[in-house]
Amino acid sequence: MKIVVLDGFTLNPGDLSWSALEALGELTVYDRTPKEEIVSRIGNADAVLTNKTPLSAQTLAACPSVKYIGVLATGYNVVDTLAAKERGIPVCNIPTYGTAAVGQFAIAMLLEICHHVAHHSDAVHAGRWSSNADWCFWDYPLIELEGKTMGIIGFGRIGQRTGEIAKALGMRVLAFDAYQNDAGKAIGSYVDLDTLLKESDVISLHCPLFPETKGIVNAGSIAKMKDGVILLNNSRGPLIVEQDLADALGSGKVFAAGLDVVSEEPIRSDNPLLTAKNCIITPHISWAPKESRQRLMDLAVSNLAAWVAGKAVNVVNP
């Protein structure tokens, strides 16, 4: 079996091993693949693994040898899943690898907003503490989270992990999700969306991108939020209407935002959030600790091995 990885660098920049995948067949790994070389690099491969390299209906038609597609991520919108299904090609994703890392990162953004640790450390190293007239100083309002309310939109695995950490910090947790379960009820209270928007001091987005969730944060929903709310998003960029958020940050309606995702990635230089006040933006790295990437690698291998054994798992186009 011939296996091709079209864009392996993000998953494995050199600190992981491809050996388990090599054990399943003849493996070729490309760090990155430009669009014009996708078809030629797939060649006569049986199994194709991709992270963000698109696999369109036209590409699949030009590569008739492909029998399996593995997505090295949870999101699979880079693959024309319907075209793959019509050709009898299962598309398998990695649904659960980053729960701990992504929940941790959401809280890391929140804590940075509350304390500006990096800024104050830089100030100390620049000599401002040594020359300060008082025994301490701070350049931003410092925020204590205990007793405040965290509202989580999307209360699946990652949302619940974020809620667990928020609860440990002494926060009250509210959740909005179409599917309620006992695990979620043990962490917080399920409420309707308007209640969550009205009562939350911090709102964290952890829902998938569906037509009904696209732009769920917009001028209308922001107007229902508390004045001075903090917004976090390390789920999907298009959940937010970015100009509306930039305007709300400018007016102070939203005190601060912590974002690990944006509508188009890499971020465009004209994205309005780049010049918005009190907006932390990181380059989609919530998922990327080595431990998390190793789980992703292990699951990608087990997905392919299951398909080889005739028992495909994590199929998104059954």
Give the burial class of 154: count Cβ atoms within 10 A of its Cβ; 0-12 exposed, 13-18 middle, 19 or more buried: buried
Which of 234, 239, 192 has its CA nearest to residue 105?
234
| 293 close to 274: Cβ distance less than 8 angstroms | no
Q: Which of 14, 51, 30 is nearest to 300 (CA)?
A: 51
In the chain, which residue ranges form alpha helices assigned H by DSSP?
19-22, 38-42, 57-62, 81-86, 99-115, 117-125, 157-168, 182-185, 193-199, 219-223, 242-251, 290-308
Residues 6+ away with beta carbon under 8 Å from 147: 170, 171, 172
CB contact set of 108 (below 8 Å; sequence gap of 6+): none
Separation between Cα atoms, residue 243 and residue 4, nearest integer Å: 39
Would you say 145 and 170 are in contact if contact means Cβ atoms under 8 Å apart? yes
Q: Using an 8 Å Cβ cutoff, are 109 and 282 in contact?
A: yes
**50: helix, coil or strand?**
strand
Of the candidates 110, 1, 127, 74, the one whose C-alpha atom is nearest the C-alpha of residue 295 is 74
Instruction: Kindly list the structural domains of the chain, giving each domain's residue range(s) and its CATH number in brackets, ordered by start.
Output: 2-97+290-308 (3.40.50.720), 99-281 (3.40.50.720)
The pLDDT value recorded for residue 101 is 98
Catalytic residue among 116, 161, 206, 236: 236
Specify the pLDDT at position 232.
99
pLDDT in tens, 16-26: 999 999 999 99
Rounded CA separation 307/28 (Å): 19
Q: Catalytic site residue 265?
A: yes
Give the separation between CA 177 and CA 190, rounded to whole angstroms: 7
The single residue of 22, 144, 264, 265 carrying the catalytic annotation is 265
pLDDT of residue 233: 98
| 284 counts as catalytic | yes
* Residue 316 confidence (pLDDT): 98
pTM of the model: 0.94
- Position 134 scores a pLDDT of 97
**Which residue positions in the chain have pLDDT lower than 50?**
none
Q: Which of 159, 146, 254, 247 is nearest to 197 (CA)?
A: 254
**266 prior amide bond cis, ω within 30:** yes
Angstrom distance (rounded) from CA 140 to CA 133: 18
Question: How far, rounded to the nearest angstrom, does the alpha carbon of residue 145 sit from its chain's CA centroid?
Answer: 23
pLDDT at 279: 98
What's the pLDDT score for residue 315? Answer: 98
